[in-house]
Amino acid sequence: MPEPNEIDIAIVGAGAAGLMAAISAGREAQRRKSPLRIAAFDGARRIGAKILVAGGGRCNVTHHQVGEESYAGGSSNTIRKVLRRFDVEQTVDFFRNMGVKLKREETGKLFPVTDSARTILDALLKAAADAKAELRHPERINAVRRTDGGFLLEGDLGDVRCRRLILACGGKALPKSGSDGAGYAMAKALGHSVTPRVFPALVPLVLEKSCILRSLSGITLHTRIELRSGTGRRLKSFTNSTLCTHFGLSGPSVMDISRYFTAARFEDAEAGLFACWLPDEERSSVDVQLQSLGKRSIGRWLRELLPERLAEAVFETADVDSSTAGHQLGRDARRRFLDALFEMPLPVTSDRGFTHAEVTAGGIPLNEIKASSMASSRCEGLHLCGEICDVDGRIGGYNFQWAWASGHVAGIHTVDSLIG
């Protein structure tokens, strides 16, 4: 009999990716009638904390259309290959076979029909148990070492030996959930590098204290947020809802652009964000409308399009009096007004950090991982999956889809590498 701490496949981290790896490895071992000992270790007090808070407690499991273009980080070619190995249809089937029906909302996001993240976590935990994958928690792994036949894990509750190792420790987002970046040190100890920058993604942004938008807390609006280089080149934009808060801006448009903004700022201190408050209008046609307002005031006109407090912020930014009649609006004032409406500069001072981020940008470079198996090309017997990799997706279920796909591939292939 093997010692209790001698394991065939050890998975460090039992979040979305680690649980999926455990389930896939366990099922594959059962399918091939090979009684492998599989265990997932998690140091967190509460298992699956991130799954439970995801999607506002409803868990946005995936998106009906997932392609590599919705991700940033490492090579999109590698991301595509991994996503194709376990696609959205397979995710939907995977959950359906566990008795969890998913529904697609208008936005294309998929949620459990129960609207409860608990349904997802419970199904995953049951599937892991059914697949005879042990879940050991709270049991934190503090260090890993390569040995002759595999790996030695130094855990809180003693040493563990394993033949194959899957690192699924996540990144640094929401550290209180247990993902504090410890996985990077373990990967490094096994010969990997970490991207030069690891930073918060899908994170709200802080505006200068004096910025008038900070006084609009609670306003939510369909907006286009655009990133421009210091020379004015348009780099990226997202059109979606934007939420004004007491510290600055949040909402999907801002969260989605945050990682591109931060990345651009590393290279270009003058890169900046601009808000267009009328994303469905053309500037030129609004210009024409303004010129045909006649005696009607621009204030009355704008208040039909924007919430009153935001309209006031636009007038203040443009330095234009809202009582001005259309026919009295001079050329310069009209340009300033259109600028404030279509490209209001957003004086961002920082992001809200990992505590408020949904995901991590950066991680283990994809060129150190084989897409076909999520196996390390630096260390034999090691696989990596989930957010620890240099992949971050948009809001909408893309990050979980990466976790499911990469976790599945890693799980299957560890078994494959053991029994051939």
The residues pairing with 249 across neighbouring beta strands, listed in sequence order, are: 205, 244
Nearer to ligand FAD, 221 or 384 (CB): 384
Which one of 81, 118, 140, 336 is in contact with ligand FAD (CB under 6 A)?
140
Task: Determine the number of helices (DSSP H) and then strands (DSSP E) in the chain.
Answer: 12, 23
Beta strands in 191-245 (DSSP E): 199-201, 205-207, 220-228, 234-244
Q: Does 141 bind ligand FAD (CB under 6 A)?
A: yes
Nearer to ligand FAD, 68 or 358 (CB): 358
Nearer to ligand FAD, 166 or 213 (CB): 166
Q: Does 183 bind ligand FAD (CB under 6 A)?
A: yes
d(CA 153, CA 165): 9
Q: Which region among 172-180, 283-291, 306-314, 346-354 touches ligand FAD (by CB under 6 A)?
A: 172-180
Peptide bond into 138 cis (omega under 30): yes
What secondary structure letter does DSSP report for 208? P
The distance from CA 182 to its chain's CA centroid, rounded to whole angstroms, is: 19
Q: Does 397 bind ligand FAD (CB under 6 A)?
A: yes
d(CA 246, CA 349): 14
Q: Does 166 bind ligand FAD (CB under 6 A)?
A: no
Which one of 15, 204, 252, 365 is in contact with ligand FAD (CB under 6 A)?
15
**Contact between 111 and 16 (Cβ < 8 Å):** no
Nearer to ligand FAD, 17 or 310 (CB): 17
Nearer to ligand FAD, 16 or 271 (CB): 16
The distance from CA 219 to its chain's CA centroid, rounded to whole angstroms, is: 24
d(CA 420, CA 409): 15
The encoded tokens of residue 219 equal: 């306003």
Residues 354-383 as x/- pattern, contact with ligand FAD by CB under 6 A: ----xx------------------------
What secondary structure letter does DSSP report for 35? -
Residues 93-132 as x/- pattern, contact with ligand FAD by CB under 6 A: ----------------------------------------
d(CA 207, CA 40): 41
Q: Does 206 bind ligand FAD (CB under 6 A)?
A: no
Q: Does 251 bind ligand FAD (CB under 6 A)?
A: no
Binding site for ligand FAD (CB under 6 A): 12-18, 41-44, 50, 53-55, 59-60, 140-141, 168-170, 173-174, 178-179, 182-183, 358-359, 386-387, 397-400, 403
